[in-house]
């Protein structure tokens, strides 16, 4: 039996880092759902850059500048950061302050390193976690801690992908979790960028993880 759902009114979204692997797919998913998107990036001519299409406004700007962050927050319903963790940390206080003042929602593309294994240990602390991944993974760990320390009126959500997070297919079939790493029947932890974007837009449209981290995987 199909359960009727209330249609979602079109939203105005800002995406910081709109030309990256995650950001470009979030932009595409939002536009496909009929939302209006302002995509911010330093350049819009890269391989992942979204083509011009109805509903999309492309802004070329320094995403770390206070004026850019103010532009992103003003006139939108929610701001999505698809920036690397190390790029978000220096601007978090400014971004969160603007969002709190204007009662805007913030959503962050997170990392998998802070997710927990059944043993209670973090993924980032495992012997097989590659050294070259640690700087960015550590930044996402620090970002999640900083978000959890924000005042109670800060409206944020942090979505961690599974361990393997790559371009792929949009299946629309995935599982959601909390702080624990998700694995499939073969023991693999993976999610495509396309299905990750679908999970994030689901959360934007019907908030279920306010002031919380959650994860998505197959």
Span 112-142, pLDDT tens digits? 999 999 999 999 999 989 999 999 999 999 9
Please state, in angstroms and rounded to a whole number, the distance separating the CA atoms of residues 156 and 153: 9
**DSSP-derived pairing of the beta strands 155-160 and 105-109:** parallel
CA–CA–CA angle 195, 198, 200 (5° rounding): 115
pLDDT at 14: 98
Q: Is residue 164 classed as helix, strand or coil in its secondary structure?
A: strand
pLDDT at 152 over 90: yes
The answer on pLDDT for 179 being more than 90 is yes
For the entire predicted model, the pTM comes to 0.94
Measured at the CA of 114, the angle between CA 134 and CA 78, to 5 degrees, comes to 105
Quick: pLDDT tens for 61-99: 999 999 999 999 998 999 999 999 999 999 999 999 999
- State yes or no: pLDDT of 50 exceeds 80: no
């Amino acid at each position: 039996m199909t359960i009727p759902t209330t249609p979602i009114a079109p939203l105005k979204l800002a995406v910081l880092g709109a030309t990256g692997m995650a950001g470009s797919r979030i932009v595409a998913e939002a536009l496909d759902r009929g939302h209006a998107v302002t995509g911010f990036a330093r350049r819009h001519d890269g391989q992942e850059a979204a083509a011009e299409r109805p509903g999309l406004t492309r802004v070329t700007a320094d995403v770390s500048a206070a004026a850019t962050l103010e532009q992103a927050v003003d006139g939108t319903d929610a701001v999505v950061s698809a920036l690397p963790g190390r790029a978000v940390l220096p601007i978090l206080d400014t971004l969160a302050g603007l969002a709190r003042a204007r009662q805007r929602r913030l959503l962050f593309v997170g990392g998998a390193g802070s997710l927990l294994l059944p043993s209670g240990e973090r993924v980032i602390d495992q012997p097989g976690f590659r050294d070259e991944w640690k700087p960015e993974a550590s930044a996402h760990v620090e970002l999640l801690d900083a978000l959890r320390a924000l005042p109670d009126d800060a409206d944020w959500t942090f979505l961690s992908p599974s361990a393997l997070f790559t371009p792929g297919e949009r299946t629309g079939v995935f599982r959601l979790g909390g702080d624990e790493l998700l694995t499939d029947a073969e023991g693999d932890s993976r999610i495509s960028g396309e299905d990750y974007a679908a999970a994030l837009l689901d959360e934007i449209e019907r908030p279920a993880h306010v002031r919380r981290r959650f994860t998505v995987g197959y």
